[in-house]
Amino acid sequence: MRVVKIARMCLCSPALAFFLITAVSLTQAHAQNKPGGPPPITPRQLATDLGKAAPGSAGSQKMLHDKVVRLFGLKNLTQGRAGAKIEATTVAWAIIDPKPARVLNEDGSLIGEMTPLGENGLQVLVKKMPNFSEFGYRVESEGMPRVAGTVHVEHFDYTADSSPKKDVPQGRLEKFQWGTSKVFPNTVRDVTVYLPAGHQPGEETCLMVWQDGSRHVDPNGSMRASVVFDNLIHQKEMPRTVGVFIDPGRRPNQTPGEKAANRGFEYDSLGDAYSRLLLEEILPEVEKRHHTKFRAEPEAWAIAGGSSGGICSFTVAWERPDKFRKVLSWVGSFVDLKGGHVYPSLVRITERKPIRIYLLDGENDIDNKFGNWPIANKQMAAALKYMNYDFRIDWTECFHGSKGMAPNLPEALRWLWRDVR
């Protein structure tokens, strides 16, 4: 009734009427989004609900309308900044416009016509797209582009070892901040320590260091490393291991979560600086703070990272094989960011070192002025094979990032730790 009254008041200005109707109806939907309200819907759930909605039913439209608002956000919709939402291979688009809208591929081909949901102009399209595809899109209304962006579809299924299990005890996560580095002065970094379930003060454990640590140890994140640790340790498929998850250094004036200014310098540079950060500063601090003791044999020490964190992990083991003997690297940046493209040649002309290396990459990884990541990783694998290293490379269709590695993590850890208990 309130919407009808506003529309009647604004008959002299249809555009103003549309704006006021939109504002009122979306505000009403937003009011249902307060803390404690229904959780946001996902694109796949939205697709199911759209398929079940009764044609022409006002109740069904209202329900779907409010769910779309929750998915895309009131502010994004009203400001015309609602980008595509992606879940697995399902993509959802939404827009507010009084005229019929559609979604087009960057080449002008039609992806789909949008479905209107109510009188305020809210429209939605939900569609399954090919896996491992990346394309530009635009949302048009009467030939005029309203929203544009890029969709990146990449989906892998997890195994059960990446999910918590009721009968598996959970390790604990403890955090501290390191801001007094002499190796990388004027930097601050967060460190998260994973202690396996039942860890006792003074217990000797294996060690695994991770670069870009916070996001990889998050049990609700993509990698879920802490969950995988819990499951594999419980199954005795990897030894009892303390995980040290280290974020790259940020400047003191940077806020947590902001892109770390020192990351590229620390991770992509060759030489022993990062290994000294670990051996002289971070790891002694972990042992002191958390009353743990790392096993002495280098076969009990592993290091992991992706992208620049991947080449960093290899560099640490390459420089200090007397300490680190196991490397986990995915989409590693063995390209010319800071000289890392020389590694395939170095591996071939240097006496074989006693390190084990796991690599993962994919056909859709980066190709830019610094190099071609898939070719660089294949060159690394060829060099390791030529020198008879204990190595493995898993090849996927992944893009740059951690989506390809995350579901493969349990198997990668089994392979890395296969002879250590």
Which regions of 142-285 does DSSP assign to beta strands (E)? 144-153, 172-178, 189-195, 204-211, 241-246
Cα–Cα nearest to 83, from 153, 146, 19, 39: 146
pLDDT tens for residues 115-146? 999 778 999 999 999 999 999 999 999 999 99
Cβ–Cβ < 8 Å for 357, 327: yes
pLDDT tens for residues 321-374? 999 999 999 999 999 999 999 999 999 999 999 999 999 999 999 999 999 999
Instruction: For residue 16, name the pLDDT band (cuts at 50, 70, 90).
Output: very low
Over range 383-402, report the average pLDDT: 98
Instruction: For residue 15, name the pLDDT band (cuts at 50, 70, 90).
Output: very low
Cα–Cα nearest to 180, from 271, 253, 282, 276: 282
pTM: 0.88
pLDDT tens for residues 255-287? 877 899 999 999 999 999 999 999 999 999 999
Beta carbons within 8 Å of 280's beta carbon, 6+ residues apart:
182, 183
pLDDT tens for residues 171-187? 999 999 999 999 999 99
| CA 175-176-179 angle, 5° bins | 150
Which structure tokens are listed for 42?
A: 């996902």
Domain boundaries, the chain: 2-153, 160-416
User: Is residue 105 within a helix (H) or strand (E), and if so which, with residue range?
Assistant: strand 101-105
What is the CB-side half-sphere exposure of residue 205 using CA atoms within 13 A?
A: 28
pLDDT tens for residues 200-209? 999 999 999 9
CATH topology of domain 160-416: Rossmann fold (3.40.50)
CATH 1.20.1260.10 for domain 2-153: no
pLDDT tens for residues 222-240? 999 999 999 999 999 999 9
Q: Helix 14-31 crosses helix 58-72 at what angle (to 10 degrees)? A: 80
Over range 302-318, report the average pLDDT: 98
Q: So what's the pLDDT on residue 36?
A: 56
Q: Is it the case that residue 54 has pLDDT exceeding 80?
A: no
Q: So what's the pLDDT on residue 17?
A: 40
